[in-house]
Homo-oligomer: A and B are copies of this chain.
Amino acid sequence: MDSLTEAFPVLRLSDKGSESVEDVVVRESPLTIILNDQELATLLCTPADLKHLAIGFLFSEGLVKGRDRIRKVMVDERVGVVRVEADGIEDTGGNAVFKRFITSGCGRGASFYSAADVQGRIKVDSRLEITASEILALVRGFQGRSTLYRATGGVHSAALCDTRGILLFSEDIGRHNAIDKIFGQCIWADIVTDDRIVITSGRISSEILIKVARRNIPMIVSKSAPTNLGLNLATDLGVTLVGFARGKRMNVYTHDWRVKRDD
């Protein structure tokens, strides 16, 4: 935790006057991912769980299909490099791999241009059901876990849950990174994601929805808003999308049969 934050002097102004204090801010570090000796990408991230982030990123980008394809992962935390050796990487023919990589981030790219691109490829199959009060309990537990957010206000968080509680939790300055860290860990440790629930602190855009559907996850929950493209994909891909889950309220936008009303 300590290595994830930094103390910084700040002049704090309010209607009570000004004071010079120390503030705790979140660290942001570059992580370079090298796949089979080819430098692929440099992400800016919270410097924790670098191995899982790299694996999750490669999976999200469609480059590494699963655990059995990964031969070796070497992490150099000091310089911020993860080297992955993997089998079955498509020959990308020059630019192609980079072109695919113009993706991700806050509205900063598209792995898929439209719902049509992903239809037929993935469709979540799960009979998961959960009550509304169980969802709200998960969200409360999720907020209680966000220690780095409470210290700095500067990170997103993500969690993998079942109906009873949180199984995996991560925090990162990027909402995509936080989810990739979770999925990277699932892939690396063979943790099943079927019938699980993902909670994210961020907005649910098309890219987030596609990440989740690719892991066959039937439900995503956020305290924030969805986009129309996120909703259309959720409808088509069989994902229950819950937005604005705060306090005692939530909006169930798609496939609401999975959410049971409490008696």
- Set of chain B residues within 8 Å of A152, measured between Cβ atoms: 225
Q: Which of A41-49, A64-72, A187-195, A211-219 lies at the interface?
A: A41-49
Complex Cα distance A205/B43, Å?
12
Q: Is the CB of A40 within 8 A of B102?
A: yes
- Set of chain B residues within 8 Å of A39, measured between Cβ atoms: 99
Q: Which residue of B lies closest to A226 (CB)?
A: B25
Q: Which of A82-90, A118-126, A158-166, A253-261 lies at the interface?
A: A253-261
Q: Which residue of B lies closest to A149 (CB)?
A: B225
Q: Is the CB of B102 within 8 A of A105?
A: no
Q: Is the CB of B228 within 8 A of A26?
A: yes
Copies in the complex: 2
Distance (whole angstroms) from the CB of A58 to the closest CB of chain B: 13
Which residues from 74 to 132 on chain A have a C-beta closer than 8 Å to any C-beta of chain B?
94-95, 98-99, 101-102, 104-110, 113-114, 132
Q: Is the CB of B251 within 8 A of A11?
A: yes
Per-residue CB contact flags for chain A residues 196-215 toward chain B (1 = under 8 Å, else 0) read 00000011011100000000
Of B42, B44, B113, B253, which one neighbours A229 at CB under 8 angstroms?
B44
Identify the interface centre among A27, A30, A102, A153: most chain B CB within 10 Å of its CB.
A102
Distance (whole angstroms) from the CB of A137 to the closest CB of chain B: 14
Q: Which residue of B lies closest to A251 (CB)?
A: B10
A250 interfacial contact with B, CB 8 Å: yes
Assess A105 versus B176: contact at CB under 8 Å? Given A10-B253, A11-B259, A30-B114.
Answer: yes
The number of chain A residues touching the other chain, given as a range, is 35 or more
Distance (whole angstroms) from the CB of A260 to the closest CB of chain B: 10
Complex Cα distance A204/B99, Å?
27
Assess A228 versus B6: contact at CB under 8 Å? Given A173-B203, A205-B173.
Answer: yes
Per-residue CB contact flags for chain A residues 2-46 toward chain B (1 = under 8 Å, else 0) read 000110111111110010000101111110100000011111111
A63 interfacial contact with B, CB 8 Å: no
Q: Is the CB of B43 within 8 A of A8?
A: no
- Set of chain B residues within 8 Å of A206, measured between Cβ atoms: 28, 44
Assess A25 versus B205: contact at CB under 8 Å? Given A107-B44, A249-B12.
Answer: no
A175 interfacial contact with B, CB 8 Å: yes
Assess A248 versus B14: contact at CB under 8 Å? Given A105-B109, A108-B108, A108-B174.
Answer: yes
Question: Can you give 7 A-B contacts (C-beta < 8 A)?
Answer: A5-B228, A27-B229, A42-B110, A44-B110, A94-B94, A105-B176, A106-B108
The 7 closest A-B pairs by CB, nearest first: A105-B105, A107-B174, A98-B98, A154-B225, A105-B108, A28-B227, A106-B174
